[in-house]
């Protein structure tokens, strides 16, 4: 049994990872300022930890407060850190870049300093496909070794972190890291315990959910003139519990390896129209969809080459199925 510190564990992806860590009988310390995460999620996880007879501690704390953060490290004696906490809205990052560079990059430096001071040498970081920017279609599916030119401050803030983490690992022999580049994360836990509660939806599936449940009158497709079979953008959607299992695999991987960067996706894509059709099918509601012009900076196709994580970590996704992603997300959204 180990104890892990999870930043952002009250948020969408972090909470699903905490659940799997609990199932593997690990103790957990969540650090979250609840800016976009939820106390209710922490309460759910605390109850779950009790049933599995493991400990779950929660600190409502901003990573900017490095003094308090260090007191957590001093007290808790954790064996590793999984770092989810971040600001994640791409369009907001364009309007307010300093928020992203301070919360995502500056606060990651605070966290890394605490790790070095308290000799916590396993670090897993949530990166993003946004580091690839607007990729050349010839480079799809995207490999980790490919070109990274982010087109938003959000993507840049994550790419800076990748570089900083790698430099820290280079300078500190014992420090090991895994950087996971998530593609489009979707769905909610199959047992209905957890899901995405985020209030300001910017992701396609969330918007489709809100539309089918009547929280929005209609939704828009941004651009139908892309060079794709149906003219709409294509993305690689990964089910949140499969992504969570990639974090568990990463912890095992670090027992024997120094570190690396890994794409997390299924290696295939669905178009905006595919997703909307699936949502209409699973909800049984032919909700209103209108088309509008392209959004600036939306690449036509973003698909991962996932062979590295599959081969090197023996990651075996179980839910490579858009229907399950839409069904579980819908079941969760109905409860909000």
Ligand X SMILES: NC(=O)c1ccc[n+]([C@@H]2O[C@H](COP(=O)([O-])OP(=O)(O)OC[C@H]3O[C@@H](n4cnc5c(N)ncnc54)[C@H](O)[C@@H]3O)[C@@H](O)[C@H]2O)c1
CA distance 125 to 82: 6
Q: Where does this chain touch ligand X (CB under 6 A) — which range of 33-41, 170-178, 228-236, 306-314?
A: 33-41
Question: Which residue in 4, 6, 11, 101 binds ligand X (CB under 6 A)?
Answer: 11
* Minimum distance, C-beta of residue 86 to ligand X, in the bound complex (Å): 3
- Given the structure tokens 């032919």, which residue do they identify? 286
12: contact with ligand X by CB under 6 A: yes
* Minimum distance, C-beta of residue 148 to ligand X, in the bound complex (Å): 14
Which residues, numbered 122-161, are part of the site for ligand X (CB under 6 A)? 126, 128
Beta bridge mates, 30: 6, 58
**CB closer to ligand X out of 31 and 256:** 31
37: contact with ligand X by CB under 6 A: yes
Given a contact cutoff of 8 angstroms between Cβ atoms, the answer to whether 111 and 81 are in contact is: yes
Residue 160, number of CB atoms within 10 A of its CB = 18
173 φ/ψ angles, rounded to the nearest 5 degrees? -50, -40
103: contact with ligand X by CB under 6 A: yes
Residue 182 annotated in active site: no
Residues touching ligand X, count (CB under 6 A): 29
Question: Which residue in 26, 105, 107, 250 binds ligand X (CB under 6 A)?
Answer: 107
* Minimum distance, C-beta of residue 10 to ligand X, in the bound complex (Å): 4
**CB closer to ligand X out of 103 and 306:** 103
Using CA of residue 117, residue 123, residue 126, residue 131, what is the dihedral sign? positive
319: contact with ligand X by CB under 6 A: no
CA distance 283 to 176: 44
Please pick, among 4, 12, 101, 154, the residue that the annotation labels catalytic: 154
The pairing of beta strand 270-271 with beta strand 234-235: antiparallel
Q: Where does this chain touch ligand X (CB under 6 A) — which range of 90-98, 111-119, 181-189, 284-292?
A: 181-189
Burial of 148 (0-12, 13-18, 19+ CB in 10 A): buried
Question: Which residue in 152, 184, 228, 245 binds ligand X (CB under 6 A)?
Answer: 184
182: contact with ligand X by CB under 6 A: yes
Q: Where does this chain touch ligand X (CB under 6 A) — which range of 113-121, 178-186, 213-221, 322-330?
A: 178-186
**CB closer to ligand X out of 238 and 313:** 238
Given a contact cutoff of 8 angstroms between Cβ atoms, the answer to whether 262 and 124 are in contact is: no
Which residues, numbered 77-96, are part of the site for ligand X (CB under 6 A)? 84-86, 88
Residue 212 CB-half CA count within 13 A: 25
Residue 233, number of CB atoms within 10 A of its CB = 24
| Helix (H) or strand (E) run with residue 207 in it | helix 204-212
DSSP code string of 65-105: -HHHHHHHHHHH--SEEEE------HHHHHH-HHHHIIIII
108: contact with ligand X by CB under 6 A: no
Q: Where does this chain touch ligand X (CB under 6 A) — which range of 58-66, 208-216, 274-282, 328-336?
A: 58-66
301: contact with ligand X by CB under 6 A: no
Binding interface with ligand X (CB under 6 A): 7-8, 10-14, 31-37, 62-64, 84-86, 88, 103, 107, 126, 128, 182, 184-185, 198
Q: Which residues are catalytic, by number?
A: 154
């Amino acid at each position: 049994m180990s104890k892990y510190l999870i930043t952002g564990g009250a948020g969408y992806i972090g909470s699903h990872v905490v659940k799997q860590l609990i199932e593997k009988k690990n103790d957990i310390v969540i650090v979250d300022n609840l800016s976009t995460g939820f106390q209710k999620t922490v309460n759910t996880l605390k109850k779950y930890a009790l049933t599995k007879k493991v400990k779950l501690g929660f600190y409502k704390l901003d990573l900017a407060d490095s003094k308090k953060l260090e007191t957590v490290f001093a007290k808790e004696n954790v064996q590793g850190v999984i770092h989810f906490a971040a600001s994640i809205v791409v369009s907001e990052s364009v309007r307010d870049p300093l928020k992203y560079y301070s919360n995502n990059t500056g606060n990651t430096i605070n966290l890394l300093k605490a790790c070095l001071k308290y000799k916590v040498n396993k670090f897993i970081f949530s990166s993003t496909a946004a580091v690839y920017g607007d990729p050349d279609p010839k480079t799809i599916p995207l490999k980790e070794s490919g070109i990274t030119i982010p087109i938003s401050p959000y993507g840049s803030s994550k790419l800076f972190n990748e570089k900083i983490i790698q430099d820290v690992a280079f300078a500190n022999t014992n420090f090991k890291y895994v950087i996971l580049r998530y593609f489009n994360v979707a769905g909610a836990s199959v047992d209905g315990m957890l899901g995405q509660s985020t209030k300001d939806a910017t992701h396609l599936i969330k918007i489709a959910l809100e539309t089918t449940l009547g929280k929005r009158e209609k939704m828009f497709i941004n651009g139908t003139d892309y060079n794709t079979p149906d003219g709409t953008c294509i993305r690689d959607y990964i089910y949140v519990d499969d992504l969570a299992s990639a974090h568990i695999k990463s912890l095992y991987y670090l027992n024997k390896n120094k570190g690396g960067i890994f794409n997390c996706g299924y290696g295939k894509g669905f178009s905006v129209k595919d997703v909307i059709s699936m949502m209409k099918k699973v909800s049984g509601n032919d909700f209103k969809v209108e088309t509008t012009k392209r959004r600036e900076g939306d690449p036509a196709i973003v698909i991962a080459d996932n062979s590295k994580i599959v081969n090197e970590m023996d990651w075996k996704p179980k839910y490579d199925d858009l229907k399950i992603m839409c069904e579980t997300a819908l079941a969760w959204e109905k409860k909000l």
